[in-house]
């Protein structure tokens, strides 16, 4: 993660007290998070507008792809009070006319005197907003709470940088790292609280993915339950030979589904199922092609739900950006490990992670970590 930059001011302007600006940006970061899971292929963005006296007069966030951007919501809420005020935005205002008009121009037209944004827009199609603002005579500042704003938008920023979805590998295991018992039974390793928490992770993701082993062993459903207003993720399953029966739970209409099969797989028993046909490599679906295809379909964040073989393949490919492990206070002593072969044979090649969070979820421990070295460019 990049370090927070000092706020760079590009034109002289009467500034509100710095702590008021920080408060406004922190609120904008909070607002942005409300969009998680709803905005892809767009980023999450929050905006707070203060009037010339520093009083908050408008708030907004990007609520869904194709809908108004955060700045437009905030400008609407502020009305005439925006004139002469300051807009705090978590991402550089866009300069791009897509399904909505350019926000940089909208801010200038509303008479905003100063725009402070946290993160520059890395998307070449949308960047240049700050230059447009300055050309229109609007004072700009960049970098306020940049680290917090980047953390809130990490999936989108990673996907734009790497040209593939941001991947979170999630697993549940006993304290001795087993994902199932020796007889194969695995329901339920983690608690009801942890399973509810996984629904939140699904709701924040654009797509969830399982391998053929999990598909056959568990007949998983993978839709989000118990979260009001959730946008259902795309359910993706790798099933090279298309052995899935038409009665599989993943094929119901609770959420969209994409079945990934070999290009020559016989799928006549699966009419109406959305298919992605890829040429297998060594009998397996090539993960780089899979990720490219998902990215092209607008998937910016992918939740990898296993099992151990597929997780190992993703790690070996350098395609895991975040790990979320639910550790249950239970021991099995035998049974499959949470992670299969990831191509690591010597301790010196262990994939080292940086721990970003450890919290209790019901009786379990949820550990969040990310690779200590940057994931591979795609
Ligand atoms: N505790 C947990 O968090 C957790 C989570 C999920 C699953 N599980 C458990 O894990 C077990 C299943 O795991 P598993 O390791 O046997 O299977 P898996 O990882 O779910 O799936 C592996 C299968 O995916 C398909 N595949 C296609 N392309 C692949 C690629 N490039 N790399 C890897 N796999 C690819 C292959 O099957 P095809 O050739 O048929 O396509 C492969 O055999 C079940 O018992 C399940 O309950 C536990």
Question: With a 6 A CB cut-off, is 324 part of the ligand 1 pocket?
Answer: no
Question: With a 6 A CB cut-off, is 335 part of the ligand 1 pocket?
Answer: no
Residue 1 has pLDDT above 70, yes or no: no
Distance CA 103, CA 80 (A): 17
15, 19, 71, 92: which is the annotated catalytic residue?
A: 71
Joined together, the tokens standing for residue 76 give 């609407």
Question: With a 6 A CB cut-off, is 211 part of the ligand 1 pocket?
Answer: yes
Mean pLDDT of 321-334: 97
pLDDT confidence tier of residue 9, bands split at 50, 70 and 90 = very low
DSSP 83: T
Q: So what's the pLDDT on residue 185? A: 86
Q: Which residue has the tokens 């760079």?
A: 8
Higher pLDDT, 210 or 6: 210
pLDDT tens digits, 218-231:
999 999 999 999 99
pLDDT tens digits, 145-195:
999 999 999 999 999 999 999 999 999 999 999 999 999 888 889 999 999
Q: So what's the pLDDT on residue 100? A: 65
Residue 56 has pLDDT above 70, yes or no: yes
Residue 17 has pLDDT above 70, yes or no: no
Mean pLDDT of 263-270: 97
Cα(80) to centroid(ligand 1), Å:
57
Question: With a 6 A CB cut-off, is 218 part of the ligand 1 pocket?
Answer: yes
Mean pLDDT of 342-370: 97
150 close to 157: Cβ distance less than 8 angstroms: yes
Question: With a 6 A CB cut-off, is 310 part of the ligand 1 pocket?
Answer: yes
DSSP 286: -
Q: So what's the pLDDT on residue 123? A: 78
3-state secondary structure of 333: coil
Nearest CA residue ID for atom 7, ligand 1 = 307
Residue 15 has pLDDT above 70, yes or no: no
DSSP 94: P
Residue 299 has pLDDT above 50, yes or no: yes
pLDDT tens digits, 241-257:
999 999 999 999 999 99
Cα(238) to centroid(ligand 1), Å:
9
Which conformational region is residue 333 in: left (phi greater than 0), alpha (psi within -120 to 50 degrees), or beta?
Answer: left
Q: So what's the pLDDT on residue 3? A: 36
Residue 8 has pLDDT above 60, yes or no: no
Alpha helices (H) along 232-338:
287-296, 308-316
Residue 20 has pLDDT above 70, yes or no: yes
Closest ligand 1 atom number to CA of residue 179: 1
Cα(164) to centroid(ligand 1), Å:
21
Q: Please work out, in degrees rounded to the nearest 5, the angle formed at the alpha carbon of residue 304 by the alpha carbons of 301 and 306.
A: 175
Cα(285) to centroid(ligand 1), Å:
12
Note if 357 is an active site residue: no
Mean confidence (pLDDT) of the chain: 92
Which residues in 323-357 are b (16+ Cβ under 10 Å) and which e?
A: bbbbbbeeebeebbebbbebeeeeeeeebebeeee
Of the candidates 103, 194, 118, 117, which has an alpha carbon nearest to the alpha carbon of residue 151? 118
Nearest CA residue ID for atom 13, ligand 1 = 307
């Amino acid at each position: 993660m990049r370090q927070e930059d000092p706020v760079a001011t590009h034109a002289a302007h009467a500034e509100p007290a710095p702590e008021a600006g920080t408060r406004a940006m922190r609120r904008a970061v909070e607002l942005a998070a409300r969009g998680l899971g709803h905005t892809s292929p767009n980023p999450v963005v929050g905006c707070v507008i203060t009037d010339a006296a520093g009083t908050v007069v408008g708030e907004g966030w990007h609520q869904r792809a194709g809908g108004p951007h955060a700045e437009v919501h905030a400008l609407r809420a502020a009305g005439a009070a925006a004139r002469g005020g300051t807009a705090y935005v978590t991402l550089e205002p866009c300069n791009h006319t897509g399904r909505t008009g350019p926000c940089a121009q909208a801010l200038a037209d509303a008479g905003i005197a100063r725009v402070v944004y946290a993160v520059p827009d890395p998307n070449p199609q949308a960047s240049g907003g700050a230059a447009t603002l300055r050309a229109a005579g609007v004072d700009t500042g960049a970098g306020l709470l940049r680290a917090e704003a980047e953390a809130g938008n990490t999936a989108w920023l990673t996907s734009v940088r790497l040209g593939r979805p941001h991947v979170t590998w999630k697993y549940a295991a006993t304290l001795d790292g087993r994902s199932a018992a020796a007889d194969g039974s695995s329901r339920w390793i983690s608690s009801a609280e942890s399973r509810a928490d996984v629904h939140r992770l699904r709701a924040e993701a654009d797509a969830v993915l399982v391998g053929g082993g999990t598909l056959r062993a568990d007949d998983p459903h993978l839709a989000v339950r118990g979260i009001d207003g959730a946008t259902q993720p795309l359910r993706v399953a790798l099933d090279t030979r298309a052995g899935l029966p038409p009665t599989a739970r993943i094929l119901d209409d609770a959420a969209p589904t994409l079945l990934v099969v070999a290009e020559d797989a016989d799928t006549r028993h699966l009419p109406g199922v959305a298919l992605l046909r890829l040429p297998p490599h060594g009998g397996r679906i090539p993960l780089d092609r899979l990720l490219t295809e998902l990215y092209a379909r607008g998937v910016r964040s992918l939740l990898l739900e296993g099992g151990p073989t597929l997780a190992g393949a993703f790690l070996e490919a350098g395609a895991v950006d975040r790990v979320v492990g639910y550790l249950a206070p239970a021991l099995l002593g035998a049974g499959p490990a949470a992670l299969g072969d990831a191509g690591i044979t010597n301790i010196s090649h262990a994939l080292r992670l940086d721990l970003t969070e450890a919290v209790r979820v019901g009786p379990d421990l949820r550990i969040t970590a990310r690779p200590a070295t940057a994931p591979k460019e795609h």
